[in-house]
C-alpha cells in the first residue's frame, strides 16, 4: 500500500514545459502577459493624469520621462500590448457567442490578431510621428 | 440502512466528496458573475480604448495647456472617467485570475485583496484628477 504522503504530485494541465508551442497556446499566454503589462500602463495613466492636475511643472516631468528613449520604447510596447489585448479580447468575445471554434477558424482568427496588432501599432506610431514631425 | 443514513446527511446536488467539503474546497459559486463582469468591462473597453488612442495621437507634442484644453471638454472628461472605471475594474478581475492560477499559498488572498484595493485607489485618484482638470483646478 502506498501511503498518501509518498504520493507523487500529479501532473497539472496545461503543462507548458511538455507541450510544443503552437499559435493557439502562444496567443493564450501572450494575451495574459499583455494584460498584466497593461495593468502597469494603467498605473502610468493615473500618474500622468495626477501630474496634469497638479500643474505644468509636474506634467513636464512625466512628459519628459515618456519622451526619453526608454519611455518611448515602453510606450511602443504598451501600444502593441493594447492592440494585442484588444484584438485578442474581441476574438474571445466572438468565441463567447459560440462561433469560430473550427480548427481552421481558430488559426485564421489567431493570425488575424497577430497581423492586426502589428499593423495597428505601426499605423498609430506613423500617424503620431507624421503629426508631430 | 447505511445508504439511508448517508442520504439524510449528504446533499446530493453537491457533487464534491465528503473530505473536500469538510476542507472547504471547491467552487465558491461566484465564477459566473466574475466571468460576466469581465466580458461587460471588455465590451465597454473596446470603444473607450479606441477613443483614448485617437486622443493620444491628436495630443502628440502638445503642452500642458493643450492637455488641459483637451481633458476639460465634456466628452473627454466623461470618456476618461469611463475608461478609468472600466479599465481598473477589468484589471482587478483579470489580475485576480492570474493570481489564483499561480499563487497557491495563503499569499493568494493577500495578493487578491491588494489588487482589489490598489485598483480601487488608482481609479479613484484618476477620476479625481480628471474632475479637477474639468472643473478648472
pLDDT at B2 (0 to 100):
47
Q: How many Cβ atoms are within 10 Å of A74's Cβ, its own excluded?
A: 17
**A96-115 pLDDT tens trace:** 999 999 999 999 999 999 99
pLDDT at A47 (0 to 100):
98
Interface test with B, best of A31, A36, A42 (most B CBs within 10 A): A42
B39 contacts A96? CB cut-off 8 A: yes
pLDDT at B10 (0 to 100):
53
- Provide ipTM, 2 decimals: 0.88
CB B97 within 8 A of CB A28: no
Within 8 A by CB and 6+ apart from A52, the residues are A58, A59, A62, B64, B67, B68, B71, B129, B133
pLDDT at B7 (0 to 100):
46
B42 contacts A92? CB cut-off 8 A: yes
3-state helix, strand, coil in chain A (%, to 5): 80, 0, 20
3-state helix, strand, coil in chain B (%, to 5): 75, 0, 25
pLDDT at B17 (0 to 100):
74
pLDDT at B96 (0 to 100):
96
pLDDT at A95 (0 to 100):
97
Within 8 A by CB and 6+ apart from B87, the residues are A38, A42, A45, B41, B45, B48, B49
CB B46 within 8 A of CB A90: yes
Dist CA A117 CA A83 (whole Å): 5
pLDDT at B9 (0 to 100):
54
B91 contacts A38? CB cut-off 8 A: yes
Dist CA A8 CA A85 (whole Å): 38
pLDDT at A2 (0 to 100):
52
**A49-97 pLDDT tens trace:** 999 999 999 999 999 999 999 999 999 999 999 999 999 999 999 999 9
**Could you say which residues of chain B have pLDDT below 50?**
1-8
Burial category of B97 from C-beta neighbours within 10 Å (exposed 0-12, middle 13-18, buried 19 and up):
middle
**A22-60 pLDDT tens trace:** 999 999 999 999 999 999 999 999 999 999 999 999 999
pLDDT at A10 (0 to 100):
75
pLDDT at B14 (0 to 100):
67
Does this model's pTM top 0.90? My answer is: no
pLDDT at A117 (0 to 100):
98
Within 8 A by CB and 6+ apart from B32, the residues are none
pLDDT at A37 (0 to 100):
98
Chain B residues at the A interface, defined by Cβ less than 8 Å, are: 39, 42-43, 45-46, 49-50, 53, 56-58, 60-61, 63-65, 67-68, 71, 80, 84, 87-88, 91, 94-95, 98, 122-123, 125-126, 128-130, 132-133, 137
Amino acid at each position: 500500500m502506498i501511503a498518501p504522503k509518498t504520493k507523487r504530485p500529479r501532473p497539472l494541465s496545461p503543462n507548458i514545459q511538455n507541450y510544443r508551442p503552437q499559435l493557439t497556446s502562444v496567443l493564450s499566454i501572450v494575451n495574459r502577459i499583455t494584460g498584466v503589462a497593461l495593468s502597469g500602463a494603467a498605473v502610468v495613466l493615473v500618474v500622468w493624469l495626477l501630474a496634469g492636475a497638479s500643474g505644468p511643472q509636474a506634467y513636464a516631468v512625466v512628459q519628459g520621462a515618456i519622451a526619453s528613449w526608454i519611455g518611448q520604447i515602453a510606450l511602443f510596447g504598451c501600444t502593441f500590448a493594447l492592440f494585442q489585448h484588444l484584438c485578442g479580447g474581441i476574438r474571445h468575445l466572438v468565441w463567447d457567442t459560440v462561433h469560430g471554434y473550427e480548427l481552421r477558424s481558430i488559426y485564421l482568427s489567431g493570425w488575424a490578431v497577430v497581423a492586426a496588432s502589428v499593423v495597428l501599432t505601426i499605423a498609430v506610431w506613423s500617424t503620431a510621428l507624421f503629426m508631430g514631425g | 440502512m447505511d445508504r439511508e443514513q448517508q442520504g439524510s446527511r449528504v446533499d446530493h446536488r453537491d457533487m464534491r466528496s465528503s473530505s473536500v467539503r469538510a476542507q472547504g474546497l471547491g467552487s465558491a459559486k461566484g465564477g459566473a458573475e466574475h466571468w460576466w463582469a469581465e466580458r461587460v468591462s471588455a465590451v465597454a473597453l473596446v470603444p473607450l480604448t479606441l477613443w483614448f488612442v485617437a486622443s493620444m495621437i491628436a495630443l502628440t507634442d502638445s503642452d500642458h495647456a493643450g492637455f488641459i484644453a483637451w481633458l476639460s471638454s465634456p466628452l473627454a472628461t466623461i470618456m476618461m472617467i469611463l475608461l478609468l472605471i472600466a479599465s481598473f475594474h477589468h484589471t482587478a478581475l483579470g489580475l485576480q485570475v492570474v493570481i489564483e492560477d499561480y499563487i497557491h499559498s495563503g499569499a493568494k488572498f493577500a495578493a487578491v485583496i491588494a489588487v482589489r484595493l490598489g485598483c480601487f485607489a488608482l481609479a479613484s485618484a484618476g477620476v479625481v484628477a480628471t474632475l479637477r482638470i474639468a472643473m478648472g483646478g
